[in-house]
Amino acid sequence: MTDPSPRRIGLEWLQLRASNLVLLASAPFFIYLFATSTNYSRSLAFIVGVEEGAAEVFQTFLVLLLGLLSGLIPILLTRKSPSWLSYPREVSWFGLVLHLLLMSWLLTRWDLAPFWDSVIGDLLDARSNPFRDPKVNYPALTPEGQAWMQGWLEILRWPYLLGTTLLGAVALTKKLPERINRWIWRLLLIFQGGSLLFLILVARLSFATGLLLTLRAAIFAYVASAILGLVLAGMLSLQPNPNIYRRYGVIAGLLLGIGLIFSQMPQAQYVLIGTIEGRAAFIKDTPQRLADTLRYGEFDNGVEMQIRAARDVEQALKLYAEDKRISAAFIPESALPAKAPILWRTEFLADEYRTPSMVFGVFGFLLGLLTFGGWQHRMHPLAVFAEFYIDILRGIPMLVIILYVGLPLSGAVKQATDGFIDLPNMIRGVFAICLGYSAYMAEIFRAGIEAVPKGQVEAARTLGLDRWQTARLVILPQALRIVIPPLGNEFIAMLKDTALLSILSVRDSTQRMREFQASSFLPFAPFNTAAILYVVLTLAAASLLKWLERRTTPIPKK
């Protein structure tokens, strides 16, 4: 019988498909193109995000990355290593020695000023922090800031080196009780792992700001959408019990009742006084919908009026009395001056009552609908919600989701919280991609869960495992192994869709490509460079996922 899998070329850990071999063979041409063409080399530098001091920052980053990895990963894997990642025990000791040598070399011999400029300078506010240099348009520390960082480095470097090395050696020997060893691993995970995650996922690195922004957006969105997709898949598998509809119906009724109580609160009474020839003074915190009513003349016998914002009632009346351009004022009826002509009288529910009334009412109505739908089809109400979410989100284009979440929804959240929650554009875009792709992720996880034989679930229940233990120990390990290939495809698709974040002015590789093309007027070089960059990224991701798939596929017994 012939092997149906495609023929691969190369070592076991670096097997190449024929299509990849063609791309690899053409790599020298692209290297020659970027090395000899000024237009292409400039395009690549700008799109990747190479900034001043990039070479020094890259060297520091490389040594720091190797030092942290060598000191953390082998020690953690000694405690609990998956079956597909086995290695000799001596590698852990080699990693610990390498960590000590690299970090000692870096912290005692290197000039870290460019690294502080790029990483620490980006975290400081240029307008208020005295350690941030306001004279340049890129992150940089003042001489006082550099001296402050160097002082902390002098204090912390030797305790850090000796502490991490000693803890790592103790953890590798395993001579102490298990409880103490567990705490040592947690400390190493917090200090070394936290530093590693900050360096890879958060720190601003001036040798590849645009490229790292693209990769980080894809990674954050992928992790968040996978978690949300897994939650939705779990909701789809919920089974109803006889009391679930009564319980959810009561909750829906309570929510509707609370919304009704808020809607019956006393209403505010306002009047529009004056004439319609000029502008209308409008108090700042009055609901926006009333400002629109005045602006478009949608009141009794009204005409379109221009609005002049006022800080409070006193300022609105002062503008009405003294400013000749202001002919009207929209004020509470309780502050109505004597003999003032009334153009329009209205009453409305204040936002402090209207917003909770609408929120409780909408959630109560939605929960009631889900309960009724579940009762009709003998499904759990949360399973009906998961189906509704998946059907809706899969039907909306990703660009529309990004625009909706990034502009009106984020603006509404900012307004509702009085500016307390004002998310950066990067987080808005990641949240939007997470919402969109979680619908696809949920279907993938559902397929993987349903592929696990029912007999294994029944056997787990027979052994006394509860529902959570059955899911964690029996279903999810097998389901995740099954869905690795489609999850890999979703990551590649998500990596490309991060280009849509440029619509929110996120300065990823695509936005940088547009900026460079607009400033240089080059017709092809920026677009070709961005396309090649994305191809390289997706091929690297596909190769990594293929390697992971091969390592996690169980070898059939002969």
Residue-wise pLDDT for 50-104, tens only, equals 988 889 999 999 999 999 888 887 667 666 655 555 556 677 788 888 888 998 8
- Give per-residue pLDDT as tens, 525-553: 999 999 999 998 988 888 888 877 777 76
Tokens of 31: 């290297």
Judge residue 74's burial from the number of C-beta atoms within 10 Å of its C-beta, 0-12 exposed, 13-18 middle, 19 or more buried.
Answer: buried
Q: How would you write 362-408 as a 3-class SS string?
A: HHHHHHHHHHHHHHHHCCCHHHHHHHHHHHHHHCCCHHHHHHHHHHH
Closest CA to 216 of 500, 498, 542, 513: 498
pLDDT at 131: 86
Predicted confidence (pLDDT) at residue 115 exceeds the cutoff of 80: yes
User: Do the beta carbons of residue 308 and residue 279 sit within 8 Å?
Assistant: yes
Q: How confident is the model at residue 275 (pLDDT cuts 50, 70, 90)?
A: confident
Coil, helix or strand at residue 329:
strand
For the chain, how are helix, strand and coil distributed in percent, rounded to 5? 70, 5, 25
User: Do the beta carbons of residue 428 and residue 413 sit within 8 Å?
Assistant: no
Q: How confident is the model at residue 9 (pLDDT cuts 50, 70, 90)?
A: very low
Tokens of 459: 């056997």
Tokens of 311: 């800080």
Taking the complete model, does pTM exceed 0.85, yes or no? no
Coil, helix or strand at residue 343:
strand
Nearest 5°: phi and psi at 541? -65, -40
The residue type found at 476 is L
Q: In sequence order, what DSSP letters do the residues of 100-124 get, joined into one string? A: HHHHHHHHHHS--HHHHHHHHHHHS
C-alpha distance across the termini of the chain, in Å: 15
